[in-house]
Amino acid sequence: MRKPDRGTLLILTAPSGTGKSTLVEMLLDRVPELTFSVSYTTRTPRPHETNGKDYFFVDEATFSRMEEENKFLEYALVHGHHYGTSEELIEQHLTERRDVLLDVDVQGATQIMRKRPEAVSVFLLPPSFQELRRRLEGRGTENAETIRRRLERARREVHHCPEFNYIVVNDEPEETYEEMRAIIIAERTRPARRKTTINAIISTF
Amino acid sequence: MRKPDRGTLLILTAPSGTGKSTLVEMLLDRVPELTFSVSYTTRTPRPHETNGKDYFFVDEATFSRMEEENKFLEYALVHGHHYGTSEELIEQHLTERRDVLLDVDVQGATQIMRKRPEAVSVFLLPPSFQELRRRLEGRGTENAETIRRRLERARREVHHCPEFNYIVVNDEPEETYEEMRAIIIAERTRPARRKTTINAIISTF
């Protein structure tokens, strides 16, 4: 397949517990030319997380300085922790014709969609509220209070899904992966992302 | 995967000789819930063509009557023959939640895109003019004059490709199939095509 002139900025969001991390892993493993945008955060690393791979873990002072220096495409406060996406890192990937996958919360997604109308936004929706609760409880990593907060937040977030370009319902991971992959491949064939190729072909006519 | 509320109207166009028929066959064979819209034409069937499957072959009088009765979503005169797409047949498929693939010339595609802004349009582009000529000559079915006319027409048609939603370059049939399939799957996840599903899920929150 022909490479586009420039990568696609992909925004993926979902209520906590929907299964976004599993989907991101499948996509990064299997879709060529797809890169993950590593975010900055002030929260503590979870046991399996690596600095520079899952997140850049920074302290509050560093985060504030970056914020003041306008380094973030978006930043948000989620469950008491700061999260931010570096604009410079993203630009580099896009210029090098790699698609960039941004895993952000709904608040962050909305900010990026306003700043970057060319970005492609996907809302991953759980099959139902009951199923989301079941998944959050099944994880066994959060206490009842945290689960309650996440569900409350999910209640607000789902109403934003019609603002997104695509809505994928996460019934089954493999099907969800297929739909998300289709969105990525399809978006590479947009005229705006293939101007150089198209002009080169038309010039032979 | 969840069925959308309503099928997608897919418009596929390409200069003659690009390989559109091969792609259409692959898609109809392999993509579930995809239907081909059989067009009406006044041209003579080719040896391998079946009435009602490839086209509805009708005489000039029948075609004119249908045209007067506003039965066509689009109609065009191509190389001296009339071609028309029945609106009623398409509506039926879309309502029954099947995607409808319209194989039309650029003129017809432009008409439909104006009438049906919700349609998804794809321009299939040959890798170059030289390759298009090689393919047309390789067929061995048309004489030099017909090939010359088709190439002349292609020269005008390719300039319309940026007006389409997607542009697929037909370098290699299997890759072209993959891109086109991705477009079809991705378009099924558009919020506008999933209102019922989405509202049902949101209502559980």
Q: What is the 3-state secondary structure (H, E, C) of A147-193?
A: HHHHHHHHHHHHHHHHHCCEEEECCCHHHHHHHHHHHHHHHCCCHHH
Q: Which residue in this structure is represented by tokens 């066509």?
A: B72
- Closest-CA distance of chain B to residue A173, Å: 11
Assigned domain for A2 exists: no
Contacts A–B by Cβ distance under 8 A: 114
Classify strands A55-57 and A39-41 as parallel, antiparallel or unpaired.
parallel
What's the pLDDT tens digit per position in B129-148? 999 999 999 887 788 998 99
Please name the amino acid found at residue A48: H
- Please provide residue A18's backbone torsions phi and psi, each rounded to the nearest 5 degrees: -70, -30
How far, in whole angstroms, is CA B180 from its chain's centroid? 12
Q: Report chain A's mean pLDDT, rounded to a whole number.
A: 93
Q: Which residue in this structure is represented by tokens 């003659």?
A: B16
Q: Identify the pLDDT of residue B92.
A: 93
Q: Identify the pLDDT of residue B66.
A: 96
User: B-chain residues within 8 Å CB-CB of A184?
Assistant: 182
The total number of residues written for chain A in this structure: 205
Assigned domain for A68 exists: no
Cα-based torsion angle of the residue sequence B139, B24, B117, A7 in order, rounded to the nearest 10 degrees: -90
Q: What is the mean pLDDT of each run of 10 residues along chain A (205 residues)?
A: 87 94 95 92 94 94 95 88 93 94 90 94 97 90 89 95 96 96 97 93 96
Are B167 and A126 in contact (CB < 8 Å)?
no
Assigned domain for B58 exists: no
Are A166 and B190 in contact (CB < 8 Å)?
yes
Please name the amino acid found at residue B58: V
Across the interface, of A171, A179, A201, the residue whose CB is closest to B185 is A179
Four-residue CA torsion sign, A137, A138, A142, A143: positive
Assigned domain for A160 exists: yes
The rounded distance, in Å, linking the Cα atoms of A68 and A54 is: 24
B139: domain CATH number? Answer: 3.40.50.300
Strands of A31-151 (E only): list them: 34-36, 39-41, 55-57, 72-78, 81-86, 99-103, 120-125
Residue of chain A whose Cα is closest to the Cα of B190: A166
Helix, strand, coil distribution of chain B in percent, nearest 5: 45, 20, 30
DSSP state of B59: -
For B58, the 3-state DSSP assignment is: coil
Residue of chain B whose Cα is closest to the Cα of A204: B129
Please name the amino acid found at residue B156: R
- Closest-CA distance of chain B to residue A62, Å: 38
Q: Identify the pLDDT of residue B105.
A: 87
- Closest-CA distance of chain B to residue A198, Å: 8
Please name the amino acid found at residue A34: L
Across the interface, of A130, A158, A183, the residue whose CB is closest to B186 is A183
Q: How many CB atoms lie within 10 A of CB A60?
A: 10
The rounded distance, in Å, linking the Cα atoms of B91 and B107 is: 21
Assigned domain for A86 exists: no
Please name the amino acid found at residue B161: C
Residue of chain B whose Cα is closest to the Cα of A133: B205
Interface test with A, best of B125, B167, B195, B198 (most A CBs within 10 A): B167
How far, in whole angstroms, is CA A128 from its chain's centroid? 21
The tens place of each residue's pLDDT in chain B, 205 residues long, gives 778 889 999 999 999 999 999 999 999 999 999 999 898 999 999 999 999 998 999 999 999 999 999 999 999 888 799 999 999 999 999 999 999 999 888 988 998 999 999 999 999 999 999 999 999 998 877 889 989 999 999 999 999 999 999 999 999 999 999 999 999 999 999 999 999 999 999 999 9
Across the interface, of A165, A186, A205, the residue whose CB is closest to B166 is A186
User: B-chain residues within 8 Å CB-CB of A134?
Assistant: none
What is the complex's ipTM, to 2 decimals?
0.90
Which two tokens mark B15?
Answer: 């200069």
Q: How many domains does chain B have?
A: 1
Conformational region of residue B80, where left means phi above 0, alpha means psi within -120 to 50, and beta covers everything else: left
What's the pLDDT tens digit per position in B66-86? 999 999 999 988 879 999 999
- Please provide residue B38's backbone torsions phi and psi, each rounded to the nearest 5 degrees: -75, 125
B60 and B82 in contact (C-beta within 8 Å)? yes
Helices (H) and strands (E) in chain A, counts: 8, 9
Assigned domain for B75 exists: no
Q: Which residue in this structure is represented by tokens 């099944």?
A: A138
- Closest-CA distance of chain B to residue A81, Å: 25
For B15, the 3-state DSSP assignment is: coil
Residue of chain B whose Cα is closest to the Cα of A155: B205
Assigned domain for B159 exists: yes
Structural domain of residue A176, as residue ranges? Answer: 9-37+99-202
Across the interface, of A130, A167, A188, the residue whose CB is closest to B194 is A167
What's the pLDDT tens digit per position in A28-68? 999 999 999 898 999 999 999 999 998 999 999 999 999 99
B54 and B44 in contact (C-beta within 8 Å)? no
Q: How many CB atoms lie within 10 A of CB A163?
A: 14
Across the interface, of A130, A198, A204, the residue whose CB is closest to B129 is A204
Q: Identify the pLDDT of residue A142.
A: 80
- Closest-CA distance of chain A to residue B189, Å: 5
Q: Identify the pLDDT of residue B176.
A: 97
Residue of chain B whose Cα is closest to the Cα of A128: B201
Assigned domain for A53 exists: no
DSSP symbols for A194-205 = -HHHHHHHHTT-
A157 and A15 in contact (C-beta within 8 Å)? yes
Are A191 and B158 in contact (CB < 8 Å)?
no
